[in-house]
Structure 1
Amino acid sequence: MLVHPTPLQGAALLEMEPISDNRGYFARSFCKKTLAEHGLSFNMVQANTAFNRHRDTLRGMHYQKPPYCEDKIVTCTQGAIYDVIIDLNEDSPTYCQWYGINLTEDNNLSLYIPKGFAHGYLTLTDNAGIHYLVSEYYTPSHESGVRWNDPAFGIEWPNRDSLLLSMKDEKWGNFDKTAGGLFVTEGVIHE
């Protein structure tokens, strides 16, 4: 497994290195030791799966509020998605910046998303499957988000004619940069 930096502080691309033969392949998709060697701490407590029937389904931008912030590793297991993260860590040099990457069933990439980041994706194909490893239990009372098209971030989503969104994702408010969001100071997350 290879670990590649992204333009956002603390986030990383994880790349599987398949060993192939006439039967198929074998590859590590997660290695705590390899992540630690790159300064990434990840303690998985839950694994989740999402399935999206239709292309142009947009889910996001989600995060959990302190003290239940979570690290995530996101992998597309079927089809293709455009995966997007936003750094909401107020003391980060990449605060309020976003990063997007295509994750597909064929490109062997996963996205490591640290605490204090909002996350969302747009399906690029019908029948897109996503697998999440998370470091915190889902806590509905601390679920939050920002709007997928909030001008505070200026995310450049792939051109789409119409999007399929949940009512919850349509109702997230605008983010106020001056009021601050999530931020990390010496490993402690505040709001």
Structure 2
Amino acid sequence: MIFTQTFIPGAYIIDAEPFNDDRGWFARTYCKNEFEKIGHQDEWLQINHSYTTEKGSIRGMHFQYPPYAEIKTVRCIAGSVYDVIVDLRESSPTFLKWFGVELSAENKRTIYIPKGMAHGFQVLEDNSQLIYCHSATYNQQSEGAILYNDKMVGIVWPLPVANVSNKDKGYNPLDINFKGVKN
């Protein structure tokens, strides 16, 4: 695995190093020893799988407040998505900055998302699927979100928006008094 630090502190792109032979390929997607080199000590407590049918659909931008704040890894196993994180950490030098990367079954990339990030994605191909590992279990009372099109953040999605859930469209926009989240 090759870990590449993004400009957002603690967030990494993880590229698989597949071993190829006449049968296909094999790649490691998690190794405790490798993850410890970037400071990851948490246990993965929950694994989710999402399937999105329509190209252009957006899911997100979700996070959990402490004490259920979570580290995530996200990997696309079918199709492709434009995966986005927004730094919501109140003391971060990249507060309210966003980072996006294409994850696809073909490129085998994973994004490592530290605590205090909102996360979402736009589907670039019909019938795309993601696998997420979480360091905390979902807690509805700790759920948080920002609008996928919040003007204070200014995410540039690569495709016209095709479908967004009513819940994801219904969040209040951030205002100048938003102080972020504590880790």
1:2 CA drift (Å)? 1.1
Match of 2:104, as an amino acid? T
Normalised TM-score (structure 1)? 0.92
1:74 and 1:111 in contact (8 A); partners too: yes
For the Cα contact (< 8 Å) 2:46–2:134, is it kept in 1? yes
Hey, what does 1:158 align to over in structure 2? Answer: 158
Structure-to-structure mapping, 1:94-133, within 5 angstroms: 94-133=94-133
The answer (yes or no) to whether the contact 1:54–1:127 under 8 Å persists in 2 is yes
Counterpart Cα distance in 2 of 1:159 and 1:50 = 20
Q: TM-score, normalised by structure 2?
A: 0.96
CA distance in 2, matches of 1:8, 1:116: 11
Aligned partner of residue 179 in structure 1, secondary structure: coil
Shift of 1:17: 0.3
**Count of paired positions:** 183
Deviations 1:18-39 (A, max 9, x none): 0000001111001121111122
Any gaps of 5 or more consecutive residues in structure 2? Answer: none
Deviations 1:82-141 (A, max 9, x none): 000000001111111000000000102100001000000000000000000000001112
- Residue of structure 2 equivalent to 1:186: none
The amino acid across from 1:179 in the alignment is F
SS at match of 1:82: strand
Q: Secondary structure of the equivalent of 1:40?
A: coil
Instruction: Give the Cα separation in 1 of the matches to 2:88 and 2:8.
Output: 11
Per mean C-alpha deviation after superposition, the further-off stretch among 150-159 and 173-182 is 173-182
| Partner of residue 180, structure 1 | 179
What amino acid sits opposite 1:87 in the alignment? D
SS in 1 for 2:36: helix
Aligned to 1:68: 68
2:47 match: 47
CA distance in 1, matches of 2:3, 2:42: 13
**Cα 1:40–1:177, aligned 2, differ >3 Å: closer, same or farther?**
farther
| Superposed displacement of residue 178, structure 1 | 3.0
CA contact (8 A) 1:32 1:42 kept: no
Moved more, 41-50 or 21-30: 41-50
State the one-letter code of the partner of 1:164: N
CA contact (8 A) 2:54 2:162 kept: no
RMSD of aligned C-alpha atoms?
1.1
Taking the aligned partners of 2:12 and 2:65, their CA distance within structure 1 comes to 21
- Residue 177 of structure 2 aligns to a residue whose secondary structure is helix
* 3-state SS in 2 of match to 1:41: coil
Is the CA contact 1:58–1:121 (under 8 Å) kept in the aligned structure 2? yes
Distance 1:179 1:121 in 2: 23
